[in-house]
Amino acid sequence: MSNVIISPSILSADFANLERDIKRAELAGADWLHIDVMDGHFVPNITIGVPVVASIKKISHLPLDVHLMIENPQKFVEPFVKAGADILTFHYEAVEQNKISSLIKYIKSFGIKAGMSIKPKTAVEEVSEHLADLDMLLIMTVEPGFGGQKFMEDCAGKIPAAREKFPKLIIQVDGGINAKTGKLCTDLGANSLVAGSYIYNSPNITRAVNSLRA
C-alpha cells in the first residue's frame, strides 16, 4: 500500500534527550510522532502525561499521534487536545459499550482525528459498528504496555476484515514493527506503522524509517 504513515514511538527515545530524538525522527522523514500515554491501571506501566505532550508541541511540527492506554479516556480528551494532540486514540476495552459512539464524536468535535485501538484479544467484528465513525483503527500487534515486545502475527490477520469494508480508514499497527513485520502489515492493508525500538535502536534512523516505507 502506498503513502504509508510512519509514526515513530518516542517510548524508545532517550527521555533525557527527548528534543534531540524527536528532531532525529523529523530529519529521518517521519510523518507523525507517536506518543504512548500509560496510566499504570489500564496497562501495568506509567509513561508520559499531558505536560510532556504540551512541551513536545512547542518543539515539533509533526502531527502528534497520541495513544491513550488509560482508563476513563473521556476525562482526558480535552487536556490532551489543549496540549496539542492531532490524533487521539483511545482503547475500546477502556470504555463502556454505550459510551463509545459519543466519545468518538466528542474527540472529533475538537477538529482532530479520532482513533480507537483494539488489544490482541479483541476481534475487528466486535468493533465493526464503530469503524465508519472513526478516522483511525489501531490494531495492537503486542499486548499494550511496553516497547520492545515480539510481533504477534495473528493480530495482523485482523487487518483485511477492516480494510475490505473501509477503504479510506487509516489502519495503524503498533508493536514489534520492523521492516519485515511492517511489510507484512501493509501488504494486508495497514497504512500507518508505529515503530519504537526498531527506529530508535537503529544506528541509522533515516535508513530505518525508509525501510518501513519500502
Q: Give residues in contact with ligand DX5 (CB under 6 A).
A: 9, 11-12, 34, 36, 67, 142, 144-149, 174-177, 194-198
Residue type, 84: G
In whole angstroms, how close is the CB of 200 to ligand DX5 at the nearest point?
8
24 vs 34 by CB, closer to ligand DX5? 34
The footprint of Zn ion on residues 65-94 (CB under 5 A) is 67
Between CA 184 and CA 182 the distance in angstroms is 5
Q: Point out the residues that are catalytic.
A: 36, 174
Among 21, 31, 36, 135, binds Zn ion (CB under 5 A): 36
* Residue 189 binds which of ligand DX5, Zn ion, none (CB < 5-8 A, kind-dependent): none
C-alpha cell at 62: 509533526
Among residues 37 and 77, whose Cβ is nearest to ligand DX5?
37
For the stretch 83-86, contacts whose Cβ atoms lie closer than 8 Å and that sit 24 or more positions apart, written own/partner, are 83/50, 83/51, 83/53, 83/54, 83/57, 84/53, 84/54, 84/56, 84/57, 85/53, 85/112, 86/32, 86/112, 86/113
**Smallest separation, CB 143 to ligand DX5 (Å):** 7
CB-hemisphere CA count at 13 Å for 127?
31
Q: Which is nearer to ligand DX5, 66 or 127 (CB)?
A: 66
